[in-house]
Amino acid sequence: MTVLKIVQYGEPVLRAETKEVPKVSAKIQKLVEDMFDTMYANNGVGLAAPQIGEAKRIFVLDVSTDDKPAPQMVFINPVIVKKEGAMISWEGCLSFPNVFIDVKRYASVTVRAKDIKGRTFVMTPEPESLLCRAIQHEMDHLNGILFVDHVIDRFGADALLKENNLPMIDPSKILSEPDLDQVLQCSI
């Protein structure tokens, strides 16, 4: 068991784009194993490679709950191929200890990726589920996007960040998401 250090908000690697994994080698499989160890040791449900300082297109998930077990999931070179709808999601992140905020997300996504054996799979999780939200959250990490970039209440989020000795939100990083805004406004 290897538990790695999680990179905190403010470190440049969290804003860097990641590189595709050319081959699912034994080294990549070991990295994935270490990512699961690190995620579990920190009580997370997901972890992306940039969060441990690796600029690779990999993330892992385990959305198990006490009453509903789920399998460990590995996403290598993932791509979201379809997205629709909108929702507000209450999220936190291992790179932002003790910070939980409301963010905008798609209600439904379909993702294509490779598994730990290098086999391609396509998945469409149940709309608005934890798995659906977690896939989007971890995909963002692979593109240098953070959950605070989808913030709904910037000033409330800044207060939480300040409370936890983390940098304030960079207003230039907040995403313009008119498609999500339009759906969310129609549902109010």
**81 and 112 in contact (C-beta within 8 Å)?**
yes
Q: How far is CA 13 from CA 32, 50, 51, 99, 164, in A?
A: 18, 6, 8, 19, 20
Assigned token pair, 2: 């290897």
Distance CA 7, CA 13 (A): 8
Catalogue the active-site residues. 138
Per-residue CA distances from 171 to 105, 150, 179 (Å) = 18, 11, 19
Cα separation, 188 vs 179, whole angstroms: 15
